[in-house]
Amino acid sequence: MLEIKNLHASIEGKEILKGINFKVNAGEVHAIMGPNGSGKSTLAQVLAGRKEYEVTKGEVVFEGKNLLELSPEDRAREGIFLAFQYPVEIPGVSNTNLLKTALNEIRRYRGLEQLDAMEFLTHLKKKTKLVEMDQALLSRAVNDGFSGGEKKRNEILQMAVLEPKLSILDETDSGLDIDALRIVANGVNKLKSHERATVVVTHYQRLLNYIVPDFVHVLYNGKIVKSGGKELAFELEEKGYDWLKEQKELV
Protein backbone atom coordinates (compact mmCIF):
# COMPACT_ATOMS: atom_id res chain seq x y z
CA MET A 1 0.00 0.00 0.00
CA LEU A 2 2.70 2.46 1.01
CA GLU A 3 6.33 2.25 0.14
CA ILE A 4 8.87 4.77 1.31
CA LYS A 5 12.31 4.62 -0.30
CA ASN A 6 15.34 6.52 0.92
CA LEU A 7 13.25 9.52 1.97
CA HIS A 8 15.19 12.67 2.84
CA ALA A 9 13.41 15.80 4.01
CA SER A 10 14.48 19.08 5.50
CA ILE A 11 12.94 22.20 6.95
CA GLU A 12 14.58 25.59 6.57
CA GLY A 13 17.69 23.91 5.20
CA LYS A 14 18.05 21.53 8.12
CA GLU A 15 17.85 17.87 7.25
CA ILE A 16 15.48 15.97 9.52
CA LEU A 17 14.80 12.76 7.61
CA LYS A 18 17.97 11.13 6.40
CA GLY A 19 16.96 8.14 4.36
CA ILE A 20 13.79 6.45 5.57
CA ASN A 21 12.82 3.08 4.14
CA PHE A 22 9.72 1.16 5.01
CA LYS A 23 6.74 -0.56 3.60
CA VAL A 24 3.17 -0.89 4.80
CA ASN A 25 0.79 -3.49 3.44
CA ALA A 26 -2.99 -3.45 3.69
CA GLY A 27 -4.24 -4.89 6.96
CA GLU A 28 -1.07 -4.08 8.88
CA VAL A 29 -0.47 -1.94 11.93
CA HIS A 30 2.94 -0.33 12.19
CA ALA A 31 4.31 1.57 15.12
CA ILE A 32 7.02 4.14 14.72
CA MET A 33 8.75 4.93 17.96
CA GLY A 34 11.69 7.03 18.88
CA PRO A 35 12.97 9.72 21.17
CA ASN A 36 11.93 13.35 20.84
CA GLY A 37 13.45 15.09 17.85
CA SER A 38 14.12 11.88 15.97
CA GLY A 39 11.89 12.91 13.06
CA LYS A 40 8.68 10.98 13.82
CA SER A 41 6.34 13.90 13.44
CA THR A 42 8.25 15.17 10.43
CA LEU A 43 7.66 11.87 8.70
CA ALA A 44 3.94 12.09 9.46
CA GLN A 45 3.74 15.69 8.20
CA VAL A 46 5.71 14.91 5.04
CA LEU A 47 3.35 12.08 4.22
CA ALA A 48 0.36 14.39 4.69
CA GLY A 49 1.96 16.97 2.38
CA ARG A 50 2.94 19.84 4.61
CA LYS A 51 4.77 22.20 2.27
CA GLU A 52 7.13 23.64 4.88
CA TYR A 53 9.06 20.38 4.62
CA GLU A 54 11.14 19.94 1.53
CA VAL A 55 11.68 16.46 0.24
CA THR A 56 15.24 16.45 -1.06
CA LYS A 57 15.62 12.82 -2.04
CA GLY A 58 13.75 9.57 -2.23
CA GLU A 59 10.25 8.51 -3.17
CA VAL A 60 6.94 7.61 -1.63
CA VAL A 61 4.53 5.41 -3.50
CA PHE A 62 0.97 5.05 -2.27
CA GLU A 63 -1.30 2.58 -4.04
CA GLY A 64 0.91 2.78 -7.10
CA LYS A 65 0.90 6.59 -7.24
CA ASN A 66 3.75 8.98 -6.59
CA LEU A 67 2.48 10.52 -3.38
CA LEU A 68 4.97 13.38 -3.35
CA GLU A 69 3.44 14.82 -6.51
CA LEU A 70 -0.01 15.10 -4.97
CA SER A 71 -1.42 18.09 -3.10
CA PRO A 72 -2.39 17.55 0.57
CA GLU A 73 -6.08 17.46 -0.39
CA ASP A 74 -5.50 14.89 -3.12
CA ARG A 75 -3.52 12.71 -0.74
CA ALA A 76 -6.49 12.77 1.62
CA ARG A 77 -8.82 11.98 -1.28
CA GLU A 78 -6.59 9.06 -2.26
CA GLY A 79 -7.10 7.72 1.24
CA ILE A 80 -4.41 9.06 3.55
CA PHE A 81 -5.44 10.44 6.90
CA LEU A 82 -3.24 12.16 9.45
CA ALA A 83 -4.45 12.46 13.02
CA PHE A 84 -2.62 15.57 14.17
CA GLN A 85 -0.43 15.67 17.22
CA TYR A 86 -1.80 19.15 17.83
CA PRO A 87 -5.25 19.39 16.23
CA VAL A 88 -5.94 22.91 14.97
CA GLU A 89 -8.72 24.99 16.51
CA ILE A 90 -10.91 26.62 13.88
CA PRO A 91 -13.43 28.97 15.49
CA GLY A 92 -16.52 29.60 13.40
CA VAL A 93 -16.43 26.29 11.49
CA SER A 94 -18.74 23.67 12.90
CA ASN A 95 -17.41 20.18 13.35
CA THR A 96 -20.33 18.66 11.48
CA ASN A 97 -19.89 21.05 8.59
CA LEU A 98 -16.20 20.29 8.26
CA LEU A 99 -16.89 16.57 8.23
CA LYS A 100 -19.68 16.80 5.69
CA THR A 101 -17.67 19.04 3.35
CA ALA A 102 -14.61 16.81 3.67
CA LEU A 103 -16.50 13.59 3.10
CA ASN A 104 -18.29 14.94 0.06
CA GLU A 105 -15.08 16.37 -1.41
CA ILE A 106 -13.49 12.95 -1.06
CA ARG A 107 -16.54 11.24 -2.57
CA ARG A 108 -16.58 13.65 -5.49
CA TYR A 109 -12.91 12.87 -6.19
CA ARG A 110 -13.71 9.19 -6.22
CA GLY A 111 -16.69 9.65 -8.49
CA LEU A 112 -19.21 8.77 -5.79
CA GLU A 113 -22.51 10.53 -5.22
CA GLN A 114 -22.75 13.32 -2.69
CA LEU A 115 -24.40 12.44 0.59
CA ASP A 116 -27.38 14.58 1.45
CA ALA A 117 -27.89 15.97 4.93
CA MET A 118 -29.89 12.98 6.16
CA GLU A 119 -27.56 10.33 4.78
CA PHE A 120 -24.60 12.14 6.24
CA LEU A 121 -26.16 12.47 9.68
CA THR A 122 -26.91 8.76 9.81
CA HIS A 123 -23.32 8.01 8.89
CA LEU A 124 -22.03 10.53 11.43
CA LYS A 125 -24.20 9.24 14.23
CA LYS A 126 -22.87 5.73 13.79
CA LYS A 127 -19.29 6.91 13.89
CA THR A 128 -19.88 9.20 16.86
CA LYS A 129 -20.99 6.20 18.88
CA LEU A 130 -17.89 4.32 17.83
CA VAL A 131 -15.58 6.87 19.41
CA GLU A 132 -17.95 7.51 22.34
CA MET A 133 -18.06 11.18 21.59
CA ASP A 134 -20.48 13.64 23.11
CA GLN A 135 -23.02 14.69 20.44
CA ALA A 136 -22.77 18.25 21.69
CA LEU A 137 -19.22 18.50 20.38
CA LEU A 138 -20.47 17.99 16.84
CA SER A 139 -22.28 21.28 16.63
CA ARG A 140 -19.40 23.16 18.21
CA ALA A 141 -16.61 24.80 16.25
CA VAL A 142 -13.76 22.51 15.25
CA ASN A 143 -11.64 21.82 18.35
CA ASP A 144 -12.52 25.27 19.66
CA GLY A 145 -12.30 25.13 23.44
CA PHE A 146 -12.02 21.32 23.38
CA SER A 147 -9.99 19.63 26.09
CA GLY A 148 -6.87 17.75 25.03
CA GLY A 149 -8.73 14.46 25.17
CA GLU A 150 -11.69 15.80 23.22
CA LYS A 151 -9.38 17.05 20.48
CA LYS A 152 -7.72 13.66 20.09
CA ARG A 153 -11.06 11.91 20.10
CA ASN A 154 -12.26 14.34 17.47
CA GLU A 155 -9.34 13.33 15.27
CA ILE A 156 -10.38 9.71 15.58
CA LEU A 157 -13.97 10.66 14.79
CA GLN A 158 -12.79 12.39 11.62
CA MET A 159 -10.85 9.30 10.72
CA ALA A 160 -13.89 7.12 11.34
CA VAL A 161 -16.11 9.34 9.18
CA LEU A 162 -13.66 9.68 6.30
CA GLU A 163 -12.73 5.97 6.29
CA PRO A 164 -9.18 6.32 4.97
CA LYS A 165 -7.07 3.49 3.58
CA LEU A 166 -4.03 4.53 5.52
CA SER A 167 -4.27 6.28 8.87
CA ILE A 168 -1.26 7.92 10.43
CA LEU A 169 -1.73 8.71 14.11
CA ASP A 170 0.81 11.26 15.21
CA GLU A 171 1.28 10.96 18.97
CA THR A 172 -2.44 10.61 19.39
CA ASP A 173 -1.74 9.14 22.83
CA SER A 174 0.25 12.02 24.26
CA GLY A 175 -1.52 13.90 27.00
CA LEU A 176 -4.36 11.39 27.29
CA ASP A 177 -5.50 9.85 30.55
CA ILE A 178 -6.04 6.12 30.58
CA ASP A 179 -9.79 6.29 29.89
CA ALA A 180 -9.37 8.58 26.92
CA LEU A 181 -6.53 6.41 25.69
CA ARG A 182 -8.73 3.34 25.83
CA ILE A 183 -11.51 5.07 23.92
CA VAL A 184 -9.15 6.33 21.25
CA ALA A 185 -7.52 2.92 20.87
CA ASN A 186 -10.89 1.24 20.80
CA GLY A 187 -11.97 3.52 17.97
CA VAL A 188 -8.85 2.70 15.99
CA ASN A 189 -9.26 -1.03 16.55
CA LYS A 190 -12.86 -1.06 15.45
CA LEU A 191 -11.87 0.56 12.18
CA LYS A 192 -9.20 -2.00 11.46
CA SER A 193 -9.78 -4.16 8.39
CA HIS A 194 -7.97 -6.14 5.76
CA GLU A 195 -8.11 -3.25 3.34
CA ARG A 196 -6.83 -0.66 5.74
CA ALA A 197 -3.54 0.03 7.39
CA THR A 198 -2.50 2.10 10.38
CA VAL A 199 0.76 3.77 11.26
CA VAL A 200 0.98 4.74 14.90
CA VAL A 201 3.63 7.29 15.72
CA THR A 202 4.33 7.35 19.42
CA HIS A 203 6.87 8.12 22.05
CA TYR A 204 5.52 5.66 24.57
CA GLN A 205 4.83 1.96 24.54
CA ARG A 206 1.62 2.48 26.54
CA LEU A 207 -0.67 2.98 23.54
CA LEU A 208 0.61 -0.24 22.02
CA ASN A 209 -1.00 -2.22 24.84
CA TYR A 210 -4.28 -1.22 23.25
CA ILE A 211 -3.38 -0.95 19.60
CA VAL A 212 -1.26 -4.00 18.99
CA PRO A 213 1.22 -3.43 16.16
CA ASP A 214 2.41 -6.02 13.70
CA PHE A 215 5.67 -4.16 13.27
CA VAL A 216 7.63 -1.72 15.36
CA HIS A 217 10.24 0.62 13.88
CA VAL A 218 12.61 2.75 15.84
CA LEU A 219 13.38 6.11 14.35
CA TYR A 220 16.51 7.84 15.49
CA ASN A 221 18.24 10.85 14.04
CA GLY A 222 16.20 10.71 10.85
CA LYS A 223 16.67 7.03 10.13
CA ILE A 224 14.99 3.79 11.05
CA VAL A 225 17.66 2.11 13.16
CA LYS A 226 15.78 -0.97 14.16
CA SER A 227 12.65 -2.84 13.12
CA GLY A 228 10.98 -5.76 14.74
CA GLY A 229 7.77 -7.25 16.04
CA LYS A 230 5.65 -5.95 18.91
CA GLU A 231 8.17 -7.28 21.44
CA LEU A 232 10.55 -4.51 20.35
CA ALA A 233 8.19 -2.02 21.93
CA PHE A 234 8.49 -3.74 25.31
CA GLU A 235 12.23 -3.77 25.00
CA LEU A 236 12.21 -0.03 24.36
CA GLU A 237 9.91 0.59 27.28
CA GLU A 238 12.24 -1.34 29.53
CA LYS A 239 15.60 -0.10 28.36
CA GLY A 240 14.71 3.35 27.06
CA TYR A 241 16.27 4.64 23.85
CA ASP A 242 19.82 5.05 25.07
CA TRP A 243 20.99 1.55 24.23
CA LEU A 244 19.93 2.16 20.64
CA LYS A 245 21.79 5.41 20.47
CA GLU A 246 24.92 3.69 21.72
CA GLN A 247 24.47 0.88 19.31
CA LYS A 248 24.06 3.33 16.48
CA GLU A 249 27.18 5.22 17.39
CA LEU A 250 29.13 1.96 17.36
CA VAL A 251 27.93 1.27 13.86
Site string for another protein, 149-188 (x = CB under 8 A): ---------x---x--------------------------
The string of DSSP codes covering the chain is -EEEEEEEEEETTEEEEEEEEEEE-TT-EEEEE--TTSSHHHHHHHHHT-TTEEEEEEEEEETTEEGGGS-HHHHHHHTEEEE-SSPPPEEEEEHHHHHHHHHHHHHHHTTPPPP-HHHHHHHHHHHHHHTT--THHHHSEETTT--HHHHHHHHHHHHHHH--SEEEEESTTTT--HHHHHHHHHHHHHH--SS-EEEEEES-SGGGGTS--SEEEEEETTEEEEEE-THHHHHHHHH-SHHHHHHHHH-
Distance of closest approach, residue 170 Cβ to another protein, in angstroms? 11
Cα dihedral across residues 228, 45, 103, 4: positive or negative: negative
Q: Which is nearer to another protein, 109 or 243 (CB)?
A: 109
Distance of closest approach, residue 189 Cβ to another protein, in angstroms? 22
Closest CA to 14 of 221, 226, 218: 221
Binder of another protein out of 91, 145, 229, 240 (CB under 8 A): 91
Q: Which is nearer to another protein, 38 or 167 (CB)?
A: 167
Distance of closest approach, residue 106 Cβ to another protein, in angstroms? 4
Site string for another protein, 133-152 (x = CB under 8 A): --------x-----------
**Rounded-to-integer distance, Cα 1 and Cα 63, Å:** 5
Binder of another protein out of 56, 66, 69, 73 (CB under 8 A): 73
Is there binding between residue 98 and another protein (CB under 8 A)? yes
Is there binding between residue 127 and another protein (CB under 8 A)? no
Is there binding between residue 128 and another protein (CB under 8 A)? no
Distance of closest approach, residue 141 Cβ to another protein, in angstroms? 8
Binder of another protein out of 29, 33, 39, 49 (CB under 8 A): 49
Is there binding between residue 63 and another protein (CB under 8 A)? no
64 CB contacts (<8 Å, ≥6 apart)?
none
Distance of closest approach, residue 145 Cβ to another protein, in angstroms? 14
Is there binding between residue 68 and another protein (CB under 8 A)? no
Residues that bind another protein in the complex, under the rule CB under 8 A: 48-51, 71-73, 75-77, 81-82, 84, 87-88, 90-93, 97-98, 101-103, 105-106, 109, 141, 158, 162
